[in-house]
Structure 1
Amino acid sequence: MSALEEVFRAEHGRAVAVLTRQLGSLDLAEEAVAEAFAVAAATWPTRGVPPSPAGWVVTTARNRAIDRLRRDAVGTAKTAQLALLQAQPELVDVGAVRDDQFRLLFTCCHPALAPEARVALTLRMVAGLSTAAIARAFLVPEATMAARITRAKKKIAAARIPYRVPEAVDLPARLGSVLAVVALVGTEAHSPAGGDEPTRDDLLEEAVRLARLLVELLPDEPETRGLLALLLLTASRRPARVVDGVLVPLDAQDRTRWSRVHREEGQELVRTCLRTGRPGPFQVQAAIAAVHADAPTWADTDWAQVVALYDQLPATPVVALNRAVAVAELDGPSVGLALVDRIGLDRSPVFHAVRADLLRRLDRPAEAAAAYAAALDRTSNAAERADLEWRRSRLSG
């Protein structure tokens, strides 16, 4: 089943995008791809993985869609969909990018959808993230996220939102949602919501690929470069983030193992952004990552600069938590803890893990143990759980 999971992670988004172009229906495309993977789950363990698993998934999904349309071809709409799929016409590209997933990305980020729905739907359709993973990214219950995604798909169908890359004049209104989507794919890659893997390299590569496409599409927009820089600097830490299958937090990483290629490209992009003089949230986040990349160790980090950069970002709970970590390094754990205790992020395991680490540094082991337990209750990723258990085991008393 690991081979099937690997194909699902790599090809789900592409398959949905291709079938959406061929079918003209996001719902039908997703259902057809889901059926194809169900067939794979039933047949691959005994028959083996096909030579071209990606092509097999698309072909099987297409055949399933044809079968369903034939069964349901009562009205003219279904008949038209069936004719469109069987004919497989070469559609004329609209916009600058010839990429099915990129078209789907902009479709899911249409202004007719609420901002939260745009991001959630794109993470589900384009990146293939589970509803549970997306719910974690938004810090909401899974049932709430499932309903949000369903409503967004219905809105696309009802509003007949086109499947295309928008014209240049329409891009600015759509860019914020697209950037947020790609960033959240990178976040899920860096810290998966569940499973046994400490990181998702496939998702991070996908986020970098989409960010590069955004830079290609909008070369004069500094925020696209800022996002790409942030993702590259995050990717540079991969060789040191997991050692012998064990998750290594940033403060304990051997930075000599960081990828020089990714780090240098990311830092050069940050310098390019600074020269434009048009700062934005992703550029600031990339600048923070660059400060970490400049420091040979955690202790050598320019924490005053990190705090100053966080002060330039919107004051969201997540930004406040990260800023509190930096303040704790600059002014001490008691000051950092006072800031953390003002933040309402009870659903986040990171919030409780940060709080536990600060309590440990203040020699309050009982409270730290309770905070580690709260963090463990809120994460299902095996690597993160192992790291939290190890941290808890170091407590005295």
Structure 2
Amino acid sequence: MKRIVHIITGLGSGGAEHMLYKLLKYSDNERYYHEVISLMDEGVYGSKIEGLGIKLHCLNLNSSNIISSILRSRKIAKNFDIVDTWLYHADILGFIIAKILLRKKLIWNVRHSNLDKDANKSTTLKIVKINSILSKYVNLITYNSNKALENHIKFGYVDKNSEIIPNGFELDKFNFSLEDRLRVRQELGLKEDGKPIITVGRWDIQKDYYTLLRALNELNNHNTKFKMIMVGSDLDYSNVELVELIDKYNLKDNMILLGRRDDVPALLSAADIYVSSSLGESFSNAIGEAMACEMPCVVTDVGDSKLMVGDTGKVVQAGDYMEMSKELFYYINNTVLERNIDARNRVIENYGIEKITKLFEDIWCDLVY
């Protein structure tokens, strides 16, 4: 049995955390033994990971326990074949543990694509630069999109020992349900005289909700009937900045802010159009899940979003609110708009979680002879 310890910066509601959970869930537990180290606390996914029967170690890392956390991680990792890290901070800690202290096989999983200065914190870019120097000593780096690989090589990462493995999706969980659609539409008070649009994410500069609301303002200016459902951490009425934007564009009557929810597949079934306004994505979980629920998607041309939707949706340039409003208008005013079975079939053919998990298992086998 091959033993893999995964180190991740935290276990919040982000895409990397979600993908790690799915990977652990679908991995063959007769061939692979996993444990997880979170640099922070158990977050959103900690209890779910433990629910799989996988041991979780939370370091609650801070300036006063850095050395003890490194030593604790070393003790945990010494009996494993592979140290597998997720997100930039964890990459550094994993490098110290695997390459300096233990001489273990090390995999970095890169889940970020946009490295522009105006879309990232300066501290993040400094860590990426450090990692680019260390990357030559890493056994394997996986990227979840072609764009992520391209941009990191431009930033200085070595162009060797690299694999592109996209995110995978649970097709039995994310599918269209008429029952859920009717129930949620009643719950949210959605009527038939305006198609509901939905976006799923978190409040973050990379998601560029400023452009989204400007696009919605254009729709409003043309007396277009719609509801905008926003789902994710801090996408609720306690977010002062978001509420101020809504007021600025006079969109109060169009908005449904739900914050973080655990019934995303049902919400996707209830809505008619998915929109992603991001400045930067690598390989979007949210877009793939919307496609699996048979939704037409309007997405920005960032990361591998264009590759994901192919000819099943609409693609606009990041920051182009006029083009975004135009494509949203197209779907809203399509009187025969139906569920998008072609989008789901595209996910089935390319991004099923079982297929993606097998790709990860293959690289683990290749590293441990």
Into which bin does the TM-score normalised by the smaller protein fall?
under 0.3
Bigger helix fraction: 1
Bigger strand fraction: 2
Q: Report the TM-score when normalising by structure 1.
A: 0.25
Q: Report the TM-score when normalising by structure 2.
A: 0.27
**Which structure is richer in relative contact order (CA contacts within 8 A, separation 6 or more)?**
2
